[in-house]
Amino acid sequence: MTTPTTTVIDMPADDLTHHPDPSIGNTIPLEARSISGQTNLSTFGPGSGTVANVLQRWDYPRINTYRLAAIFFAFLNFGMNDGSYGALVPYIELDYRLSYTVTSLVFLSPFAGYTIAALFSDRLHIFFGRRGIAIIAPSCKVIAYAVIAAHPSYPVVVAILALAGLGNGLADAAWNAWIGNLAHTNQLLGLLHGFYGLGATISPLISTSMITKANLGWWTFFYLMTALAALEIGTGSVAFWSETGSKYADANRVDGESTGMTRQALKQKVTWICALFLLCYVGLEVSLGGWIVNFMIRVRHGEPFSSGMTATGFWLGITVGRVILGFVTPNVGERLAVSVYLLVSVGFELIFWLVPQFIVSAVAVSLLGFFIGPIFPSTIIAVTKLLPSEMHVAAIGFSAAIGGGGAALLPFAAGAIAQAKGPATLQPIVLTLLALLIGIWLTLPRIPKHVHQA
């Protein structure tokens, strides 16, 4: 009996009609079926037992180019959402006359939306397809941002941010999983999260300038966010219009039946390790980005505008790190690379904490951002290498959504601690999270050397 094997090949689907078999001097027809962005090829003939999973490329089929552009734009908006908190928090606190703990509720409330996204992302894919996600996710954000732009009472702001969290959680899960199944995934995920970082970089600059230079209310920033989210509905729905629920269900059949894979994915240890890791990582990223301006104003005694620019520097570091180190990581291997990035990050965090000078802190936090930048996309890649393709959407969706929960829970906790002990507590919190990340990452199973990196 021939033992079936799996080979990953990077080639256009049009080239897969026939496969030459030198042993019999003719061609053997191939049967192709798309699975989560891949094409499954079963050869027929004497002694055949090979199945080839052929990865789609970013530029083939041609529609993928437009889909990638739409996803990059979605993540630019996603980054602008997360990056704005750090610049807006001091002004929200002043406007509503709030304590740190109450102000921190703006971080906590999106957790409800992320939780729903974690539980139902795969099921929504089956019912509505990627087309549905491309419409539902930004629509949630349009509603939330429009309400905030009307400058409602603070409880309304907190409540409606849960809807924004749902939209961001669905998009985070869907688009990470889709790109995670393309060829050259390291570089593409690095670019994807680079666009997130770009959005988070320009967001503090825009919002701080609107408030300090143009003397506008903090809520006016959400007029811009509403318009961008509305544009995201158009770009995403056009790019993924053919990706219906029935098409997704047919492409993700297990044992002949179409089924949601969330339950199966949750039985895998890898899913839970990566979910916990991303919860801590995204919590670290947003806690630092969200409270850095407050820290630089009150502990490093910086001016409001220059302190706002440190948030820009942090997110810029993340952006550049994701793009540049995205090309380094596949040559080193995700497991080793992430370990090194985290150890270097600990060094820059110690400089940030122990050297009480504004300029040194600003440079150190930018370099810290550079080295933690590629960690999120590297985690997504590890999931795609350690789990079967039919589980990718469910496992990545769950992990990414739980990571989004970290963006809600940990910044809220940081604010509550700052309320009791002062904003200087940000530094030991960040250092503790980095240590936790190292410990969790080392529990991840080793990625087999034979796993092909397209």
Longest dimension (CA), the chain: 81
Supply the pLDDT for residue 124: 86
pLDDT tens string 294-324: 888 888 888 888 887 888 889 889 889 988 8
Judge whether 325 and 307 are in contact, CB under 8 Å.
no
How far apart, in whole angstroms, are the C-alpha atoms of residue 407 and residue 397?
15
What's the per-residue H, E or C state across the chain?
CCCCEEEEECCCHHHHCEEEECCCCEEEEEEEEEECCEEEEEECCCCCCEEEEEEEECCECCHHHHHHHHHHHHHHHHHHHHHHHHHHHHHHHHHHCCCHHHHCHHHHCHHHHHHHHHHHHHHHHHHHHHHHHHHHHHHHHHHHHHHHHCCCCHHHHHHHHHHHHHHHHHHHHHHHHHHHCECCHHHHHHHHHHHHHHHHHHHHHHHHHHHHCCCCCHHHHHHHHHHHHHHHHHHHHHHCCCCCHHHHHHHCEECCEECCCHHHHHCCHHHHHHHHHHHHHHHHHHHHHHHHHHHHHHCCCCCHHHHHHHHHHHHHHHHHHHHHHHHHHHHHCHHHHHHHHHHHHHHHHHHHHHCCCHHHHHHHHHHHHHHHCCHHHHHHHHHHHHCCHHHHHHHHHHHHHHHHHHHHHHHHHHHHHHHHHCHHHHHHHHHHHHHHHHHHHCCCCCCCCCCCCC
Judge whether 251 and 34 are in contact, CB under 8 Å.
yes
Supply the pLDDT for residue 275: 92
- Give pLDDT tens digits along the chain (454 positions): 443 334 444 444 444 444 444 333 333 333 333 434 444 444 434 444 444 456 788 778 889 999 999 999 999 999 999 888 878 888 998 999 988 778 888 888 888 888 888 778 878 888 898 999 999 999 999 999 999 999 999 999 999 999 999 999 899 888 988 887 788 777 788 888 889 888 988 998 899 889 988 889 999 999 999 999 999 999 999 999 988 888 887 776 654 443 457 778 888 999 999 999 999 998 898 888 878 888 888 888 888 888 878 888 898 898 899 888 888 888 888 899 999 999 999 999 999 999 989 999 999 999 999 999 999 889 988 888 888 877 877 788 788 778 877 877 888 888 888 878 888 888 899 999 999 999 999 999 987 765 544 4
Supply the pLDDT for residue 450: 57
Supply the pLDDT for residue 347: 95
How far apart, in whole angstroms, are the C-alpha atoms of residue 7 and residue 3?
13
How far apart, in whole angstroms, are the C-alpha atoms of residue 375 and residue 69?
22
Judge whether 126 and 203 are in contact, CB under 8 Å.
no
Work out whether strand 5-9 and strand 50-55 pair parallel, antiparallel, or are unpaired: parallel
The torsion defined by the Cα of 302, 304, 305 and 307, in degrees rounded to 10, comes to 50
Supply the pLDDT for residue 344: 96
